[in-house]
Chains A and B, each alone.
Chain A
Amino acid sequence: MTRGRPGPDVRRTVREGGGGRRGGIACPQCGEPIEMTLDDLLVRRSFTCRTAGCGVVLRLDQRRSNEAIDTLRQLKTKLRELGTDG
């Protein structure tokens, strides 16, 4: 059985099943979800895992994600036009 927190060579992934889907990413260290919204991704540049004892910081890699961020901006505009941006 797996016990304790993972060490540096342990990779964890999380899959949500049987329930609603939320935006965000599973913390690469503890596996707990780090929730992100479309607005978060457009405004913030870093996200911190709030799980006690974890504290992993995710920094948006702007060089690699330029195109993705542009796409998110366009998505925001279009969702607003469609009235589905909540």
Chain B
Amino acid sequence: MAGEFDLHQLLAGPIIAMNDAQADAAASFYEVFDQFAFEPAQQAAGGAEPEPRRLRMISFVAERATAEGIERRQISMPLLQMIPIGGIGIDSARIQFSLAVNAEPPAAARAPAGAPAAAAAERAVALKARIAPTAARDAVSGNLQVEIMLKQLDLPAGYLDMIAETQGGVSRRVPGEPAAPEGEGTELFQAAFREPAEPLIVPGGELSVLIDIVPNPRLVGPDGLELALATGATKKLRIVKPETPVRLPAKRQLLAVTLAAAPTLPGGGVLLLLKGASTGADGVKTEHEVRLMLRCGDSELPRP
């Protein structure tokens, strides 16, 4: 019958179409992302390796009032860091349709008497189907309904890592001002939750986490590393450990931190701040702050 397909083809069709649509959307987004984030590729001369593509940058002049007057600094940031763009993806889909199913006898049953036994697949009943019309009088209008819910996607993890590497951008004093400190444009250290990777603290509970501290290899004169909670969270969370001030490590180190939560916690999460400082050989002090998000649960700890 016209418009009749194997049942599995009809069932798989909408799913395959959604996969294809998602791939097309990702390709379109990548095209935009590529043009937005990077400068055009430079043509390499005669068989030479092409130069790595450069991030597109945006520049600001930061003005700050000091006792000596207005201090100005030139700051350049990757555009990608300034504007978080992400593609869209299918979050959920609901497909609804009715099929007019027609069962055909197995091929083996139709085979002439005495023919060799057919394979098991050939003995199966062949189910043919077509999308049923919306009404008996409207034989050409199918009743397939597809409802797709989309969600905004963040960038892939690799790009986020790249952005993290450039976070802070490049900052230098504008001409006429004293030279910027050595090592400008690099982070003093990086930090991330190691265990658990996505810590969750619940009201009234206590949480122990390991934070992976990775100092900059060029770090000179590490000073203190201060742990603090973002303003507004200090009454909701308390840092139990470490009890004494710690130093910014010169080598990669795991820092054990224990936090205690009040009986009520803000929804979402709170920021744990790690403020590290270093004093260079020239006496110039550099600070860096890493903010780690602690998710807050909404239930009490299970009682033993």
Contact = CB atoms under 8 A, between A and B. Distances in A.
Contact of B56 (A10, A13, A61, A67): A67
Given A15-B164, A68-B79, A8 B32 contact: no
A27 B215 CA distance: 22
Q: Categorize the interface residue count of chain B.
A: 35 or more
Contacts of B226: 1-2
A68 B56 contact: yes
Nearest to B33: A75
Given A55-B65, A61-B60, A67-B56, A78 B32 contact: yes
B83 to A, nearest CB: 5
B63 A56 contact: yes
B48 to A, nearest CB: 25
A26 B29 CA distance: 27
A25 B286 contact: no
Which residue, B61, B192, B245, has most C-beta atoms of chain A within 10 A? B61
Contacts of A36: 82-83
Contact of B35 (A1, A12, A74, A82): A74
Contacts of B63: 56-59
Contact of A11 (B87, B152, B171, B190): B171
Contacts of B76: 64
Contacts of B152: 84, 86
Interface stretch (B2-10, B66-74, B95-103, B233-241): B66-74
Contact of A58 (B32, B61, B88, B289): B61
B32 to A, nearest CB: 5
Interface in B253-302: 269, 271, 275-277, 284-294
Interface string B35-54: 11000000000000000000
A80 B287 CA distance: 39
19 contacts: A2-B226, A7-B285, A10-B285, A11-B184, A12-B289, A13-B168, A15-B187, A18-B192, A28-B62, A28-B75, A31-B287, A41-B58, A58-B75, A64-B76, A68-B56, A69-B58, A71-B35, A71-B36, A83-B88
Interface of A: 1-2, 6-26, 28-29, 31, 36-38, 41, 47, 55-61, 64-65, 67-69, 71-72, 74-75, 78-79, 82-84, 86
Given A11-B180, A16-B293, A82-B25, 4 more contacts: A6-B285, A23-B83, A31-B289, A65-B59
